[in-house]
Structure 1
Amino acid sequence: MRELQVVDASELATAYAVARYAVRLDGDTLPLRVGEPAPDLEAYWPAECYTFITAWNPASEPHSDDANQTADALMVAQLDAAGVQRLAAWAEDPDGEWREPGWLLADMDNDLVDRLAHEFGQAGVLRWRRGEPVRLRMLVERPRDSDVPAEVADFTDWVADWVSGPVTA
């Protein structure tokens, strides 16, 4: 497992919260936004719970395309072995200058999500239940409340207790 060192969790959570996320399904690009429901996606692809995760750029540090693609292939192999339904998705900064591929997962258990995120060095994922707003799930220690902007805090869950073990269904 990787040891994740986050210099400024508040800043990182804010960057994740304002990023744009999307999935392409049946020829349509469906946006995902932290703090907003995703009714179009949920109508197209029914599930009880959704997760966006990526294996790219662990610890929010740029890695080569080869390293990122290798990590992504390892994540896909684990998702396939666990029988997790997935769709290709992506995240990008608000200016569209940075884009990172990822996966939208259906009905994956919280513990499994946390294990996978930790294994691939991810500080946060998107996670929400059907009919509810998209939430940011930060897998690092929560900063002082005064450091987290209200628009981020309202839709962010902080989970610092790592669970170890293999990813299984």
Structure 2
Amino acid sequence: MRQLDQERLLGAYRTTRYVIRPHGSTDGVEQVLRVGRLHPALDAALAARGHREWAFMTAWNPGSRPRGKDENQRAQERLVSQLIAGGWVVAPAIGEAEDGSWSEQSLFVPGLPRAEAERFGRAHGQVAVLVGRTGGPAELLLCGNEAPPAAP
């Protein structure tokens, strides 16, 4: 991937709104996460449940290549099944562009360690996942899957 394309893609990830739908792990309130920012309300909800780490991920559009809705939904169902089989709680979420031009169904996984988040992201072809620890900023974690070069 050309450096400019990668920088553009990572820039899009950095401006994305990572929205956790109301769920028991978030005290029943919607939480909006942003790369590089602290999220004290989420930290408090997670700490009350004994969680110190979390991940926000999807199986949609591996390698940042658009796929059809049905294919994306099947991939997402596989990811949900794998997480649940591993004993993880999953909360519904959505990643959306600031301007609303695109969105992807996503998952919030309280307690999921960075290494596991990277493993799941890599297994599902993701370029990056969002991770965090209580008291720290949300950060992009690259999964080792490159996005395709932009069309000429």
On whether the aligned pair clears a TM of 0.5, the verdict is yes
Q: Does residue 131 of the first structure (1) align with residue 132 of the second (2)?
A: no
Structure 2: segments with no counterpart, 5+ residues:
147-152
Name the CA distance, whole Å, in 1 between partners of 2:8 and 2:107: 23
1:94-146 per-residue CA deviation (whole Å, 9 max, x = no partner) reads: 1012111111112223332222111111000111110111111122389xxxx
Residue aligning to 1:73: 77
- The 3 A distance-change label for structure 1 pair 45 and 93 is same
Name the CA distance, whole Å, in 2 between partners of 1:28 and 1:55: 24
Residue aligning to 2:95: 91
Question: Displacement, 1:9?
Answer: 2.2
Name the CA distance, whole Å, in 1 between partners of 2:43 and 2:115: 22
Give aligned pairs, total: 137
Structure 1: segments with no counterpart, 5+ residues:
1-5, 143-169
Q: Does residue 9 of the first structure (1) align with residue 6 of the second (2)?
A: yes
Residue aligning to 2:149: none
Percent identity reads 34
The structure whose residues are more often helix, as a share, is 2
RMSD: 1.8
Question: Displacement, 1:85?
Answer: 1.8
Check whether the contact 2:63–2:145 (CA below 8 A) recurs between aligned residues.
Answer: no
AA in 1 matched with 2:52 = E
Check whether the contact 1:9–1:141 (CA below 8 A) recurs between aligned residues.
Answer: no
Check whether the contact 1:13–1:138 (CA below 8 A) recurs between aligned residues.
Answer: no
Question: Displacement, 1:61?
Answer: 1.1
* Equivalent position SS for 2:66: coil
Check whether the contact 2:56–2:106 (CA below 8 A) recurs between aligned residues.
Answer: yes
Residue in structure 2 matching 1:51, options 46, 49, 55: 55
Check whether the contact 2:119–2:143 (CA below 8 A) recurs between aligned residues.
Answer: no
